[in-house]
Amino acid sequence: MNLKAKFLMGAATVCTMALGSAATAGTLEDVKERGHLLCGTSEGVAGFSAPNDEGVWVGFDVDACRAVAAAIFGDPNKIEFISLNSKDRFTALQSGEVDLLPRSTTFTLTRDASLGLDFAAINYYDGQGIMVRADLGLTKASELDGVTVCLRTGSTTELNLADYFSANNMSFQSVVFDKSDEIRKAYEAGRCDVMSGDRSQLAVRRSQLPDPSAHIVLDEVISKEPLAVAVRQGDDAWGDVVRWSFNVMVLAEESGITQANVDEVLATTNTPAVKRLLGSEGEFGAYLGLPADWGYQVVKHVGNYGESFERNLGKETAIGLDRGLNALWSDGGVMYVPPAN
């Protein structure tokens, strides 16, 4: 997008704030009435949210929206995707332009408490990292005194980096870009020595470099970045729908239910917890204002958490991330969601 247009859009979002009436309650009713979900995505980050060759939005963050659409409509395609840059994303959510925002957004106190939004579910536990050229021979982040760092504007990254260098009494110089691609180009051209960002993003950019093996992501993690799905504050019922549409994916993985075997499990299982999760027993759907089989629909159409991870980010993809912190708690990770009881 043209940058001047982007600036105008910023002004336009301000106008939306002035014109529109804030949707404070009843997002679920609004969505049902509208017949589709408004999902705020990135401008294209491979693995998280980007259109594929056929122009269909795919990715790990996209799956969070697909799960909600599947739970409400039984159809993961009843979604309108709205591509947002990191500056416009919160205003778009606040003004009702989107219903939910799964856009690699870090859950922080300031955002939670002062921006009129709530974080319904943490879908990826990330941390900020540093990528360097392998031939520099660096192994530790503490050897980085005096480096030039390429990074992206409009995120928690800039602050974390400054804090990290200050805490370690090191100096640095930043070159701040608006787009992921521009960071990669500047880094390739040698404008900066290192690149910093969420480790998942670094993995994406590394996979796009001509020779990924010539670059290493240092082991140090300089911040906690719990990436979460944001919803508007003040509509708790909607927050519940989004939260449990995500939770059901993790619970399905815990119970070994996959996209492939969900029908079979539903037909044969004798476990009450699984029956309740998939909706053949109990009233969870009614509690949330969703159809009784909402859990089944999510797993059927989107798969469980592990499947979504492997399909979009895992070892078989170009990005090649391992589960790390995002493994289930029972496998040594921190992915732990409340039980569906």
Partner 1 sequence: MNTERIRSLSIQGAALLALSACVAFFSLNAIENMQALGLTTGLGFMGQTAGFDISFSVISYDRTSSTFGRVLLVGIANTLAVSSLAIIIATIIGMIVGIFQLLENWPLAKLCRTYIELARNVPLLLQLVFWYTCVLSALPHQKSSLSFMDSVFLNVRGVFMPWPEYSDGTRAFYVACALSITALVYLVRRSRRVQEESGEGKAVFIPFLLTTVGLIGGAWMIFGQPANWTYPVLKGFNFKGGTWLPPEFMALLIGLSLYTAAFIAELVRGGILAVSQGQREAALAIGLTNWQTMKLVMIPQAMRIIVPPLTSQYLNIVKNSSLAVAIAYPDIVSVFTGTTLNQTGRAIEIVAITMGFYLCVSLIISAFMNWYNRRVALVERT
Q: Considering only residues 43, 75, 182, 310, which one is a binding residue for partner 1 as defined by CB under 8 A?
A: 182
> How many residues in the shown chain lie near partner 1 by CB under 8 A?
56
DSSP state of 100: B
For 278-299, the DSSP string reads HTSSSSHHHHHTS-TTHHHHHH
Q: Which of 32, 44, 83, 115 binds partner 1 (CB under 8 A)?
A: 115
Closest distance of CB 111 from partner 1, Å: 7
What lies within 8 Å, CB to CB, of 201 at 6+ separation is 45, 104, 152, 180
Residue 117 burial (CB count, 10 A): 21
Residue 232, SS3? strand
Residues 72-111 that bind partner 1 (CB under 8 A): 86-87, 90-91, 94-95, 110-111
Q: Work out whether 168 is an interface residue with partner 1 (CB under 8 A).
A: no
Interface with partner 1 in residues 21-60 (CB under 8 A)? 21-22, 24
Which span sits near partner 1 by CB under 8 A: 26-34, 35-43, 122-130, 141-149?
141-149
Amino acid at 296: Y
Task: Spell out, one character per residue from 209 to 248, where the chain touches partner 1: x when CB under 8 A holds, - when not.
Answer: -----------------------xxx--------------
Q: How far is the CB of 123 from partner 1 (least distance, A)?
A: 21
CB 119 within 8 A of CB 228: yes
**Stretch binding partner 1 (CB under 8 A), from 61-69, 183-191, 258-266, 307-315:** 183-191
CA-to-CA distance for 296 and 298, rounded, in angstroms?
6
* Distance of alpha carbon 138 from alpha carbon 135, whole angstroms: 8
Q: Does residue 169 bind partner 1 (CB under 8 A)?
A: no
Of 260-279, binders to partner 1 (CB under 8 A) are none
| Percent of residues in the chain assigned helix, strand, coil, to nearest 5 | 45, 20, 35
CB nearer partner 1, residue 110 or residue 268: 110
